[in-house]
Structure 1
Amino acid sequence: MESIATIHQEMRELVEGYQREPQPQILQRLDRGFQRFTQLATLFLVSERDTYYGYFFMSMSFRTNYSTDAIAGILLDVYPPVFEANPLLLFMLSLKEVMYAFCHEVDHVVFNHPAEMVRTNPERDPGLFKLFNYAADASVNDQLNYEIAQGKKFLSPPKGVITSELLAKRFGLSKLAPRQDYLYYFNRIKDRVNASDDSEEASRRSGTAQKNAAPDGRQGQKGFSIGNHTWESASGEDGGDTGALDEMLESATKELLNNVNDLMDEEARSMMPARFTERIAQINEPPRLNWKQLLKQYVGTISAEKLKTRSRLNRRQPMRYDLSGTKESKTLKIAVAIDTSASMDTEQLKSVFTEIFAIVAHRRYEITVIECDDSVQNVYRIKSPEDVKLDVTGRGGTLFSPTISYINDNRYFRDALLIYFTDGFGERRIPRPRTYRNLWIILGPIKHLSVENPYGIVLPMED
């Protein structure tokens, strides 16, 4: 029976022969050999080594591409997803390094790097794209290298593969933690490049892998990149809609991961690494509302009945002066409580009230601001975001009861919406607000809200 090692050696000899004398028939043999190799590699992973990666390759098709300067990559804009490789580069690696490249590409998808690449670089800046590749590669390779140290002896990293250690040396970063997500590395190296006044130096640091490559495609200390990732056939260079690309990559990733999960039985699922099971749970969570969406829903539930009035013309027939116009009979009341002991800065306050006014723009409304720390400090009405007194008073400890008591003692707020902005740290128990609906918006994690029963929905400030 043909072994994976035998096919690998055959492919390597074909590549060396093509380098000596390029002939089309050699490429044809490489195409056929690549298909045989990927079939055996999939069986090898599923039956003997690592079912996690094996199930991914069972959910893909494979093809060669001799025009790319990337060793390998997964294309998500086709179904089923395609694992694409350049055999002339791939089979210059050792067998263990080839398996490393295969697993490397799978983990990029599991870590959601395709969609995150678009989100972090909506303007498609080539420099940021290069930095993203560095960060994403370091995140994936650190994890693979850790697993090799734990016993995955069928993998071996190509010499000079990009890791957190290499990033620290290349960009002059101290205390760079290993095995972090891509965003940690992306922000660290981006800040480092942006801090440089020398644009040539910044350009050198964010240069491509191929620029410094050795003749065999490797880079040694310069940093060896397996793929210059785009995760789509069209490479995203047509100026298409970034939002649509983001959604496509997100959707394709979700479909692939769910297909892989469906192939498994319960025993196989129980052996999956945490990064896979966590991503499966994450992508299948029901959509979460943010506070702006919820406020829109709340506003929509408050009826605004029309009353006839002679003081307005009829909108349908404005020339008929004998017909009455209409006006809303209901004024939308919103009480915005601001915990002045929390760390809301001027820009956050501006952003919050701009959002609120945009949501209520088509209604008659009255917005009351209540500033409170351990007592109510200031109460005033506003008609636009510019009316907000940004130099809020207070900055003492936090108690929620004084604000609730103030609202409950004033019948005006009986049919109002209460929105409470706070960092969450305060009392454990509060009186029930006598308002129409209540929404707590927490500046940090929602678990920081100390109130046992907030009598309303609790959402984070950030989406």
Structure 2
Amino acid sequence: MENKLVDQINKLRSQVKRLLLFFSNSDIKASNFTIDLPVGFEKEFFALIDKINFLLMEDEENFYGYFLFQMTRELRFDMNSATGVNFKNATYVIYFNPFIFLNLTTKQMQTSMKHEILHILSLHLIRVKKMKEKYSVLAINMAMDMVVNQYLSYLPPDAVTIETVNKEYALSLSHGKPFEYYVEKMQYAIELQEEKEEENQQKEDAIATEFDPNKTHDIWEESNELEDSTMEEFTTSLAMKAKKGEIPSYLNTLLDSLKNRKEELPWDLYLKRLMGTLDSSKKKTITRRNRRQPNRLDLRGELSGHKANILLAIDISGSIDEEEFKKAMTEVLGIINNYGHQITVVECDNEIQRIYPLKTKKDLKERSNSRGGTKFTPVFEYANKNKVDLLIYFTDGKGEEKLEVIPKGYKVLWVISGRGDTLSVKEPYGAIKKLKKVKIKDNVLDHHDVERGGFSMNHHESIL
């Protein structure tokens, strides 16, 4: 099998070499460029990936093979690394740049795939978000690679390791430290180079043929915008399915960490956090180019400071207590209005029955009488067409198992109330919270149950 694998790799290498000869003699930029691949190239390339994946599944660390088997695969020619990952349409996608990937040995190809999976298990796609406010892209990328590459053998020659970084930057970093430790040390070491690296980002070619640590994780920016808790749950689910038999101790540590992470914020603080995110969020626009990749005309730019559109969906077919409903709406209204966002109420059973704006508690109407069962899809279809920033769905959780449409460009928060226990939708595309039933005491006022509208959601519990 090894000889056949080498022959297949050599054949694919010769094909990309011929492509590179054409590119080297052409001034091709991202704005007017498409790659005309040889007939059958993509099929044969992914047949190679299947064989590499089979080798991983036969390996003693077969966890990686089973994890990779659950991922979607795509080609990507503008990526400055052999492989890359992001999160699209409720799954992890692994990308391959043949111009770089095919220069690796079979062992290095396996290592490159393991490298991406370790980024996922370490939740780097989530942890990097806050880091970008303080540290440079290069410092973050190199720090993350130093963390995951400590566990890997057969690394490509240009891989970022603690040893190569110590040599290049005259540092003395040690093994076994967390991502945050390395990024702080790296930021200090490359501070003088940051401005130059930022300038170099302004010009990007349509294809990439060399490794560049400053751009290796740029495609993470293209992941679907989901709540951290949703991505964590999805990652944990994939990891548990990939766990077959004995696995190395360092993987066990990562998996235990994933299993022990819980969303513990009470309802009101969780919603406030969402509101804060919307308040400082940026709106996509075609009138500006993307700052990070200005030559990519298919990527939209951003405008800041827009007024968010909140869609409050109410399941009128569910078993939601009227008193609980009114109190919950008072709390939601109080939190959202503090941020000045606009609210639209949508009442739905198996189809949308009524839509109206909501500014104050007086605008809240008595719920319509239900005419049918429960379907969530009509609300998501409406949200997709009306530039929504956040959808809050108040329901008892009983409905379809699969949405007929995928949420586009907005965040989703499910609120399970009444006698509901779980959400029927298997892929919710957002966070799920369960309201803990509040007991109403006769003629006794408990100050713990009073907040703003006479109701506190601090006693709610999460089902995530």
Indicate the structure with greater helix content: 1
- Superposition TM-score, scaled by structure 1 size: 0.48
- Structure showing greater radius of gyration is 1
